[in-house]
Chain A
Amino acid sequence: MENINERVQKFNTAIQSVKTQLRRDLVGQDEVVDNVIIAIVAGGNVLLEGVPGVGKTRLVRSLGKTLNLPFSRIQFTPDLMPSDVTGTEIMRKDEQGNMQSEFRRGPIFANLVLADEINRATPKTQSAMLEVMQEHKVTVAGNTYKMEEPFFVLATENPIEQDGTYPLPEAQMDRFMFKLIMKFPSDKELMDIVKMTQITMAETAEVAMDGHDILEMRELASQVPVMDEVLDYAVRLVSGTHPEIEGASDTAKKYVKYGASPRAAQALITCAKVRALMNGNFNVSYADVEALALPVLRHRIKINYTAINDKLTVDGVIAKLIGEIKK
């Protein structure tokens, strides 16, 4: 018991420390920061969406420094090849002058990978990310290379650029634990950003914990108990997004084209455990699940034309669904 108390204490201290450090480089976006931390502790990938200049790249870079994790940034462009991401086999002469092939690792080989503007890459290149995001390994020329844990992909996409972008396939979207929207800062936040960046543009966040700590936190969070009723609520929330299922919610029947995958239910519970612990609770509550419903579901369901006609966004449909599903 004493051991567990110490571990929980250490968990909370580390989380607070990470938040403190990130606030040194990022103004506002508190909810995004919290959710990114949750995803990282839970072991999931995050898709960040926001207009240029809201701090997506800065957040990931600061995060890399704070977590003391090797960080790499991949700028996705239409001409980016899969081998540019994963790495490639090259031929080189050894000391004896013999030609040997050598695998040169690509930028994906880091603990924290920023996939910037991932929707600009071709589907072929995007699919190269699939294996590494899900299984944390890369296969090149028949050889499999495992990623060092913890491994995360934080991808960004620009919502306003439509030309020259390739929408992410559903299978890849499903690999992201969260999709987070970084909103344009408020006037006060913008003022603070300007003031801060007048001093320096560089990230000033310091190390708060390391990869080993993250793995420990992940293991600790997995022990948080979830009672069956809350579990059932999460399951009904996900199955409620499917219009074809018997007993589907009215909102799903009316506005949803297709619903979320089972990974959504797994993500909900896994992340809810982390959130509970972060808030000083030792059990998952309905509030934890409800708070994570938007980030978990918004990229996993597709709304139909009726929703568009009724001027409903994905977030609006999800909010309606949450209102319909009884606890």
Chain B
Amino acid sequence: MGKGFSKFKRKLRAGAVIRAVVFGLSLGLLAVSGLWLTAKLTAAEPDFVRYSLFGGATAALGLAVMLLILLPTKRRIARRVDKHLSLGEKTQTMLAFRKDNSPMVALQREDTDRILRETPKKRVKGVCTWLFVLIPVVAALTLTATALVPAKEPPAPPPVVENNFTITPWQTQALKDLIEKVKASDMEEQPKEATVKQLESLLIKLGSIKKEPAMKEAVISCIEGIHKAVSEHNTYDTLAQALFKSPSDTVQDLGGAVNSLKALLVGEWMNTTATALAEGGITPAELAAGVTQSLTASGVDTENEVHMALLAFAVELAAMPDTTEETVAPVMAKAEETLNAALFIQATNEEVEDDTIYTLLSIFGMKASEVPEHIFNNPDDPRGEDDYEDDDDLDHIHSGGLGSGEMIFGSNDTIYDPDREAYVTYGEVLKDYYARITDLLVDGKLTPELEDALNDYFAILFNGSENREQENNKN
């Protein structure tokens, strides 16, 4: 095409690239400014890495789009050159007839190229130069302004309303009654003493506490102290963890039964293991060795009753002459009785602990969710629920605590009535609840479905309550 045209072609195309780059970078800066400003105005935490990535992507996209728009074709270059230099379509004609070599066309081409070569490049301007000076200035100013804008402070958290606290007489009495209840319980001496001490300490502390948060803190501290005392005293969980580590599945299952504190599960294990011994699935010596190794590894005091029960069982197993039913059955029965008795004591410790904790929460109007989770968590069974062979096992796991199996309606149990400031039987409270529900029913504030459900519920409760009272009266 000629050097003259090439000169302007290079200039205009370079100009287009520069403009595209400037535009892209400016767009990127504006994008970053936008995000940053938004973060400042919404009191969000600025994430400059994300802003940079977004700004970079925006810049790249802006550059590409602008390049597509601005990068001139040869025709556009020719048109621009003719317009700026008032050449009367010389350059465009030269381009249009570039493949024509007739004398006049060649003359036209040479004449045009000469003019272009002699013309300084600067006489042909790029597209909207002023705009591509203005855009980056605006972008820079926007970024600067964004940097200078103060970040909005995050909203201050609502002021903690600390209610005042003064222990009421009935709370004092309830706490004293609880102390007496613990003393009279079947909890073992060591944890009992510690529990009573914690409760007495709490009573003294609450006399001087004036704010509710401090009160709750004191109650939680007391609960943690009680839990620690009971946990450190009970050994069933430590022994269970040691049994879980045995390579023998049977021994691990024994660990599960011990860990559950359920007599039912201990009994089941005994039956299953008796069958396994009779069928040769495991030998008495193997089982005895497994139990003994676990007991040794546990580190529990040998004088501990659960440890003693398990050790005795292992000794009996090792001494078995054969695995006939006549030999195995008595051993298993004796072990079951001894082990359950030992576990029952520790279960009682935990039962009293739970009862004490819930009573404390009730007295001081606190929720279970305010107590640290670990207080209520049972020791882990590392085997998990999937290790059980069928769902019946799961039902047994979830089916309540170590009890005698008797069905109790609970009418003998007392519950603290804040209105009367005394412990009353559940039946008394039940009547009050029913009266209130009846009022709501009469006022039509309950839906028909709820009405029916409540009627049925209280009917059952009343029947149970009345039956119990009759029995008590007979006794």
Contacts and interface: CB of A to CB of B under 8 A. Distances in A.
A157 B294 CA distance: 135
Contacts of A226: 93
Nearest to A279: B88
B408 interface: no
Interface in A281-315: 281-288
Interface stretch (A3-11, A106-114, A316-324): A3-11
A202 interface: no
Contact of B93 (A4, A223, A227): A227
Contact of A225 (B88, B93, B110): B93
Contact of A223 (B89, B90, B92, B103): B103
B103 A4 contact: yes
Q: Interface on chain B toward A: helix, strand, loop, or mixed SS?
A: helix
Interface string B81-101: 000000011101110110010
A226 B97 CA distance: 9
Given A225-B93, A225-B100, A227-B96, A285 B88 contact: yes
A325 to B, nearest CB: 16
A282 B104 contact: yes
Contacts of B393: none
Contacts of A281: 88, 90
B104 A225 contact: yes
Contact of A282 (B92, B96, B100, B107): B107
A228 B97 CA distance: 10
A159 B96 CA distance: 44
A157 B293 CA distance: 138
A230 B100 CA distance: 17
Contact of A227 (B89, B102, B111): B89
Interface residues of A, number: 22
B89 A4 contact: no
A105 to B, nearest CB: 38
B454 interface: no
B88 A287 contact: yes
B397 interface: no
Contacts of A5: 107
Interface in A152-196: none
A1 B103 contact: yes
A119 B90 CA distance: 42
A283 B103 contact: no
A225 B103 contact: no
A235 interface: no
Interface string A63-83: 000000000000000000000
Contacts of A282: 90, 104, 107-108, 111-112
Nearest to B87: A285
A229 interface: yes
A224 interface: yes
Interface string A223-245: 11111111000000000000000
Nearest to B104: A223
Given A1-B106, A5-B107, A229 B92 contact: yes
B109 to A, nearest CB: 9
B96 A228 contact: yes
A61 B22 CA distance: 67
A119 B81 CA distance: 49
Contacts of A284: 89, 93
Nearest to A280: B111
A108 to B, nearest CB: 34
Nearest to B89: A285
Interface string A264-281: 000000000000000001
Contacts of B93: 225-227, 283-284
A228 B100 CA distance: 14
**Which of B89, B96, B97, B105 is the most central at the interface, judged by chain A CB atoms within 10 Å of its CB?**
B89
A8 B89 contact: no
A271 to B, nearest CB: 16
Contacts of B106: 1, 4
A5 B104 CA distance: 9
A229 B102 CA distance: 20
Nearest to B93: A283
A287 B86 CA distance: 11
B104 A286 contact: no
Contacts of B96: 225, 227-228
A230 B90 CA distance: 11
Contacts of B103: 1, 3-4, 223
Given A225-B97, A282-B111, A230 B89 contact: yes
19 contacts: A1-B106, A4-B104, A4-B106, A8-B107, A223-B102, A223-B105, A225-B100, A227-B89, A227-B93, A228-B96, A229-B92, A281-B88, A282-B111, A283-B89, A283-B94, A284-B93, A285-B88, A285-B89, A286-B88
Given A3-B103, A5-B107, A282-B107, 12 more contacts: A4-B103, A4-B104, A223-B103, A224-B104, A227-B96, A281-B88, A281-B90, A282-B111, A282-B112, A283-B93, A284-B93, A285-B89
